[in-house]
Structure 1
């Protein structure tokens, strides 16, 4: 009798477990599939990839429908098995046997096995199961929407509000996380990691973080004779130079060395005959809160590579160039006319001699460190922010797994620091 019961139960149970396994595999493959590859396949005309993209565009509804369908199948299979086995084993024994059997079958064959296969071949499994998933959503989608409505109503009194359109991870953070993961696995080189991260950071940084500070801007007095202006321009080695009159805050134009040389050539080499005011370019002023992404777009649109940065009161704060922004992506750009400052100098003892004006991002890139740059731009600024005062020479501080020693100070400016590598540092 027991054999006959098992034979009668087996076909139905196999079908239900197969349905449950397919739903489990669908859930895992849809959540693990590469969105980038699916979009690429869709652009190449793959209909299965198109279905996958349509399904995961509303992931909450997809997962809800699959979970409801999977639970309906598992509960029905358990109820059917319990009903049949209680006939063969009356009383609690039948229910206990049914519970044990279904637990093993569901966990092993309807959960672990299909999900293991799906996670190993997520993209291919998602494409193969996209059609059954589409029908699952059509059948159980309305129930999933109802369940989501109940969940939101239940959580609302506790101050938890969920949006069906809100992704858990922003696209930029998802890309950044993928880059960091592949870098840790050795699949992305450090330089490529910095470049990709630099592109993502453009929207989060403003021009004040990369500009040349006004104390370091090379300006020329426009009232000087043309010959002196030429000598100063050639001595500085810059292509574009701000020109002021009366006081440095009064910028009247930007002198391009190429324009100056052309004007000298037009004057048959008579430098003193050149009228500087006639060859100056109109200065371009941008707010210090402009994001690097917007400023890069503005540079490309205006075909201008040089802008002066002002604060909310219109006072000059610094200048920013296209090269400054590109260096945030590709690192330091040097040409044959650049004066290469020491900046970051590793020492044999493992410590690093760092100029105070070096940015934290540049130091991190040079040494592959992870000093925070959310509260300060330069290394000196980081030390002052942590100390909440201007340190004295020879003072040493420990934070962020590094030691910082003040080597040189000029007035209120920290000009030279020694920084230890993280492995030799102490905790805060």
Structure 2
């Protein structure tokens, strides 16, 4: 009975081990974990060994009970003995040890591995024959043994692992890990400064206007262009201006300080763009569409803030995109980025389409709505507060009611 309980419990314990925790302990030098990892590398052999021992113990016990019962009370005693043995095996050799093993797999698996590993060496010929026969039967049913290598986790599986880490990882670090996993789903379009908000130096402007732009700039790098941003000449690092004597400042000296602009196609995932910034030793890039027109600017800081959150003062933060209004509603700038709104307010507005609230509403209504018009997006009641001929300027958003898409 004890042997049967050992084989049943250790089987459950070994098969219940977390393979990633097992690998971690094995790399740390834990002897039991090392042996368990070797045994689980060929689970067919391990199972064959355990079943051989378990069945040998159970059948031996059954034969012994039958012989003793027959000598004591004949055929009726054999039937009674079989019933009692069955109940005893189910309780003491199956249910109880397997439950214990499922609750504390490492406590049972690692000591058991110390026994199974040398036992497998001794019993290898018999185990090999059993495995050959069982694998042959599986082969007839189309099952192939492809090994038991540890499969790579998908992104969603990794997210689940991070979530289940609980208190082992602080909430801040857990959010950073989740943000890293989400980089592949976020593109440069989602974090770039849009075309109409780019601050730069127009060489067609007057000298006073150029000097004023430089003096008031809250950025360390500015695009330099003629007439419009699509005619970009290069990128100016304001630090380089410190080397110029104020009396020597002119357009020619300014042009000599420019570096070549770096262009990236729209739709580039942030995970790829982060690597490109690192390889090219760049910190700023111009996002262009398929026609070569500049759609916006993305910086290394924008990508890092997707991972760690806001860590520096952004000039755009001075503009209050969201103002709490009466009765728990919010007055929102329709030009605000949807992902930023979701992150700052905890909302769940759709992010798989337009990037701004204005674009999302116009796409759903297929027209520019008039003030006082109402709609509902993903359960959020939205009222148009201000609009003009070409865009929505501000809206009022209420508390989420229930799932929905659009109602006029």
Cα gap change, 1:350/1:149 in structure 2, threshold over 3 Å: closer, same or farther? farther
- Aligned match for 1:389, one of 333, 343, 366: 366
Counterpart of 1:340 in structure 2 is 318
Out of 303, 325, 332, the residue aligned to residue 354 of structure 1 is 332
Secondary structure, counterpart of 1:349 in structure 2: helix
Deviation at residue 252 of structure 1 after TM alignment: 1.6
In structure 2, relative to structure 1, the CA distance for the partners of 1:345 and 1:101 (3 Å cut) is farther
Separation of aligned partners in 2, 1:369 and 1:188? 25
> d(CA) in 2 for partners of 1:364 and 1:136?
59
Q: Give the unaligned 5+ runs of structure 1.
A: 1-12
Question: CA separation in 2, counterparts of 1:136 and 1:252?
Answer: 75
Report what 2:195 is aligned to. 214
Q: Cα distance 1:342–1:41, how it changes in 2: closer, same or farther (>3 A)?
A: same
Structure 1 residues 126, 346: closer, same or farther in 2, change over 3 A? farther
Measure the CA separation in 2 of the matches of 1:377 and 1:93.
80
Cα distance 1:352–1:15, how it changes in 2: closer, same or farther (>3 A)? same
Q: What CA deviation, in whole Å up to 9, does each residue of 1:380-425 have, x standing for no partner? A: 555556x363562434444544334433444454443433344xx1
Question: What's the counterpart of residue 419 of structure 1?
Answer: 397
TM-score, length of structure 2 as denominator length: 0.77
Alpha-carbon distance between aligned partners in 2 of 1:18 and 1:228, rounded to the nearest angstrom: 85
From the superposition, tell whether residues 174 and 127 of structure 1 become closer, same or farther in structure 2 (CA, over 3 Å).
Answer: farther
Q: What do the CA deviations read for 1:123-159 (whole angstroms, capped 9, x no partner)?
A: 4544434444656887558866986786687479xxx
Q: Residue 25 of structure 1 is aligned with which of 13, 36, 60?
A: 13
Which of the residues 339, 345, 354 maps onto 1:367? 345
CA 272–311 in structure 1, closer or farther in 2 if over 3 Å, else same? closer
Once the two structures are superposed, the pairs formed by residues 72-111 of structure 1 within 5 Å of their partners are 72-85=52-65, 88=69, 94=78, 98=82, 101-102=85-86, 105-106=89-90, 108-111=91-94
Distance (Å, rounded) in 2 between the aligned partners of 1:351 and 1:55: 61
Q: What is aligned with 1:175?
A: 158
Is 2:162–2:174's contact at 8 Å kept on the other side of the alignment? Answer: yes
Task: Show CA shifts across 1:83-142 (max 9, x none).
Answer: 455553677985686366435523x43444334444444445444344446568875588
Residue segments in structure 2 that go unaligned for 5+ positions in a row: none
Q: Which residue of 2 aligns with 1:45?
A: 29
Tell me how large the CA RMSD over aligned residues is.
4.0
* Greater displacement, 85-94 / 355-364: 85-94
1:24 touches 1:111 (CA, 8 Å); kept in 2? no
Structure 1 residue 245 displacement after superposition? 2.5
1:317 aligns with 2:301: no
Deviation (angstroms), 1:181:
3.2
Stretch of structure 1 that moved more, 172-181 or 88-97:
88-97
1:319 counterpart SS class: strand
Matches within 5 A, 1:106-121: 106=90, 108-121=91-104
Alignment of 1:48-59 (within 5 A): 48-54=32-38, 58=41
Q: How far off is 1:322 after superposition?
A: 0.8
**Structure 1 range deviating more: 217-226 or 70-79:** 70-79
SS of alignment partner, residue 289 of structure 1: coil
Aligned-partner Cα distance in 2 for 1:319–1:65: 59
* Alignment check: 8 A CA contact 1:227 1:271 kept: no
The answer to whether the 8 A contact 2:374-2:381 is kept is yes
Counterpart Cα distance in 2 of 1:68 and 1:370 = 52
Instruction: For 2:194 and 2:231, locate their aligned partners in 1 and report how far apart those are by CA, in whole Å.
Output: 16
Residue-by-residue CA offset, 1:295-326 (whole Å, 9 max, x unaligned): 22232333321111123333222111011001
Is the 8 Å Cα contact of residues 398 and 404 (structure 1) preserved in structure 2? yes
Distance 1:316 1:105, change over 3 A: same
Which of 214, 226, 230 is the equivalent residue of 1:233?
214
Deviations 1:169-227 (A, max 9, x none): 725433321332355xx776554443221112123322222112222222332233444
Say whether the 8 Å CA contact 1:217–1:318 is kept in structure 2: yes
Taking the aligned partners of 2:398 and 2:81, their CA distance within structure 1 comes to 65
Question: Contact between 1:309 and 1:319, CA under 8 Å: does it hold in 2?
Answer: yes
- TM normalised by structure 1 equals 0.74
1:244–1:253 contact (8 Å) kept in structure 2: yes
Q: Is the Cα contact below 8 Å between 1:391 and 1:406 reproduced in 2? A: no
Distance 2:188 2:132 in 1: 45
Give the whole-Å Cα distance in 2 for the aligned partners of 1:352 and 1:142: 73
- Tell me, in whole angstroms, the C-alpha distance in 2 between the residues paired with 1:146 and 1:230: 86
Partner of 1:299: 277
Q: Post-superposition shift, 1:47?
A: 3.7
> Are the equivalent residues in 2 in contact too, given 1:284–1:307 (CA < 8 A)?
yes
